Amino acid sequence: MAKTIVQVDKNPNENNASVLRRFSRKIQESGIIHKVKANRYNEREESKLKAKKSALKRMARRKEIEVLRKLGKIGERRTRNTRR
């Protein structure tokens, strides 16, 4: 993403509120806010190798839990809305 620089210089007889208003208007016109909001929740895609490794870990963990369940070392799965 290219950097955009917005600069506003204060005129001698200008108050701070009007400088701030001019700065805000320039920011709006430059489209910086729109670009930032558009990219706000974008996440990088996970690499294929990392995704494969995590999938293999999940599969191994599920197999291990299933073996422990069959041996009786872990209780049966409870669904969320059932009472004890």
Q: Are 6 and 20 in contact (CB under 8 A)?
A: no
Instruction: Report how far residue 25's alpha carbon sits from residue 4's, in angstroms, rounded to the nearest whole number.
Output: 15
CA-based end-to-end distance of the chain: 54
pLDDT of residue 77: 74
Three-class SS of residue 45? coil
pLDDT of residue 3: 78
Percent of the chain topping pLDDT 90: 58
Mean pLDDT, range 24-50, rounded to an integer: 91
Mean pLDDT, range 18-32, rounded to an integer: 93
pLDDT of residue 1: 56
More confident residue, 17 or 80: 17
Beta-carbon neighbour count of residue 42 at 10 Å?
A: 7
Three-class SS of residue 52? helix
Q: How many CA atoms lie within 13 A of 25 on its CB side?
A: 7
Mean pLDDT, range 53-71, rounded to an integer: 95
